[in-house]
Amino acid sequence: MVDFENDIKACMQALQNDGVILYPTDTVWGLGCDALNEAAVDKVFAVKQRPKEKSMIILLADARDILHYVAAPPPDIIAMVEAFERPTTVIYKNALGFPANVVNKDGSIAIRVTTDPFCKALIKRLRRPIVSTSANISGEPTPAIFSMINPSIVAGVDYTVTHRQTDSSITPPSRLISMDDDGNITVLRD
């Protein structure tokens, strides 16, 4: 088994120095950075060759953290998110505290509370949300496993996590929903 703690320490070093990491999530391999660091987010856009008009997903470690980053979420949001049976990204109105390059033009933000032990540990250690976007060049297929990641992506990051690189299990991208102020859900991708 790969040393989880060494990966966490190396990721912390990269994330605290405006770096970009390549890491396994609860869905697919992702490119990530400190979601509150505008310069680091710009680097993710550059590595991915993605237009800045397209926003990215934010990962949180705990559902209660939503209250720090979303203005006026539905009152029962924590229970709702904790009841999701699979990885689900929720688009919320009225993002709070994020740099402009993370927030959609309409002020919304896409957030997923991760279930992955590595991601949870990393976010808790950083004490900040992290960006998550699939580890591919914009417009190319999303790689299902590490070995399918474009070498230019690997070369473009500051640290590549070794944990789960040999994992061959394929997990689909997260379900994507939007939620209005009353907690009504619209499924955008199932």
DSSP string covering 161-175 = --TTTT-----PPPE
Say what the pLDDT of residue 131 is: 97
Say what the pLDDT of residue 1 is: 44
Domain that holds residue 110: 4-189
Q: What's the token pair of residue 120?
A: 């949870």
Separation in Å, CA 103 to CA 68, 118, 147? 15, 25, 31
Beta carbons of 73 and 185 less than 8 angstroms apart: no
Say what the pLDDT of residue 173 is: 84
DSSP string covering 100-154 = TTTS-TTS-EEEEE---HHHHHHHHHHTS-EEEEESS-TTSPPPSSGGGS-HHHH
Say what the pLDDT of residue 49 is: 95
Number of domains in the chain: 1
Verdict on whether the full-model pTM lies above 0.75: yes
Separation in Å, CA 16 to CA 36, 55, 80, 172? 11, 22, 32, 30
End-to-end Cα spacing for the chain: 33
Residue type at 24 in one-letter notation: P
Say what the pLDDT of residue 113 is: 98
CATH number at residue 34: 3.90.870.10
Say what the pLDDT of residue 3 is: 65
Say what the pLDDT of residue 180 is: 85
φ/ψ (deg, to 5) at 178: -115, 150
Say what the pLDDT of residue 82 is: 96
The span from the CA of 54 to the CA of 98, in Å, is: 15
The span from the CA of 141 to the CA of 182, in Å, is: 35
Q: CA nearest 47: which of 14, 69, 16?
A: 14
Say what the pLDDT of residue 2 is: 47
Q: How many CB atoms lie within 10 A of CB 166?
A: 10
Q: Which residues contact 139 (CB under 8 A, 6 or more apart)?
A: none
Per-residue pLDDT tens listing for the chain (190 residues): 446 899 999 999 999 999 999 999 999 999 999 999 999 999 999 999 998 888 899 999 999 999 999 999 999 999 999 999 999 999 999 999 999 999 999 999 999 999 999 999 999 999 999 999 999 999 999 988 999 999 999 999 999 999 999 998 888 889 999 998 788 899 999 9
Say what the pLDDT of residue 79 is: 96
